[in-house]
Amino acid sequence: MSKDKRKLVVIALGGNAIKQSNENGTAEEQFRNVEVTCEQLVKMNTLGYKLVITHGNGPQAGNLLIQQEEGKELVPAQPLDVVGAMTQGQIGYMFQNTLQNYFRQIGKEIPITSLITQVLVKKDDPDFNDPSKPVGPFYTEEEAKRLEKEKNYVVKKVKPNGEKLWRRVVPSPEPYTIIEAESIKALIEARAIVIASGGGGIPVMKKDDDSLSGLEAVIDKDKAGNKLAQEVNADIFLVLTDVENACINFGKPDEKALQKISVAEAEEYLAAGHFLAGSMGPKVTAAIRFVKAGGEKAIITSLQKAADALEGKAGTIIEK
């Protein structure tokens, strides 16, 4: 039995934090964004927290899907579950490499590993009939409607205001089990920093013979992150996005940033429609689920405020 009493934090990073909406998505841009996050991860480690990192892949998976579609006359296009695995490797490498370099600069040698992770879903999940997960670039309404017609994309409005509010959406089934949970727990026990369940994990279903088969979907990384946090017995679930706080009346004159709230308050605001399904909604839902399942607290905040939020100095903190 481990005697390591440090608190375990599962950190869920948005794919948009790695490739921001105003960027082209070059490797250089994504590495630069990852560096900002890794500075915070080093601070968290210095504060004495154990870390498990999970991340989104919406922009990366969407861009890679475009490459598959445009290049299919030259090479076979890969299905969405394989694209998910490819982006797990891509983003995992970026974090693993950058974080190792940051620790070496301060004289620390900490084992860091990325684990290709599968997540069990159900093939009859209703989201296969009404897709909700945004992937790829942001579009104007005109661009989105044209792609809907020309390429048979399913498109939805995912932001309340701005110029480019629309994105392509794909099925996003509910996660049930992290297939590699025991491997992740063993790595935590060995005092490694683990990067796992990237992009929400590769969605797989269980067949009649108990074998696993991939499905074309992208699981919401916050919901999968909550499931991961529960299965590794995390103390804190930290959701990092591009705003410091979750807000009610977002984008309106009476917008209000939420600080410390109860699960009951969070559920009330969610039911009242304060959080969009394609953005803050899944984050708040995942935070509520984590705390109701026995977690100490869940926090939603920006990348730059991550370490401060763990110390109670920033972010939206949801507790019982």
- Which residues belong to the active site? 15-16, 133, 221, 283
Q: In one letter, which amino acid is 175? A: P
**Could you tell me if 93 and 30 are in contact, meaning their C-beta atoms sit under 8 angstroms apart?**
no
Q: Which of 48, 42, 202, 1 is nearest to 121 (CA)?
A: 202
Strand-pair category, 212-214 with 118-120: unpaired
Q: Which of 242, 238, 228, 234 is nearest to 280 (CA)?
A: 242
**Distance between CA atoms of residues 119 and 311, nearest Å:** 31
Burial label, 77 (beta-carbon count in 10 A; 0-12, 13-18, 19+): middle
Q: Which of 308, 315, 317 is nearest to 288 (CA)?
A: 317
**Could you tell me if 173 and 196 are in contact, meaning their C-beta atoms sit under 8 angstroms apart?**
no
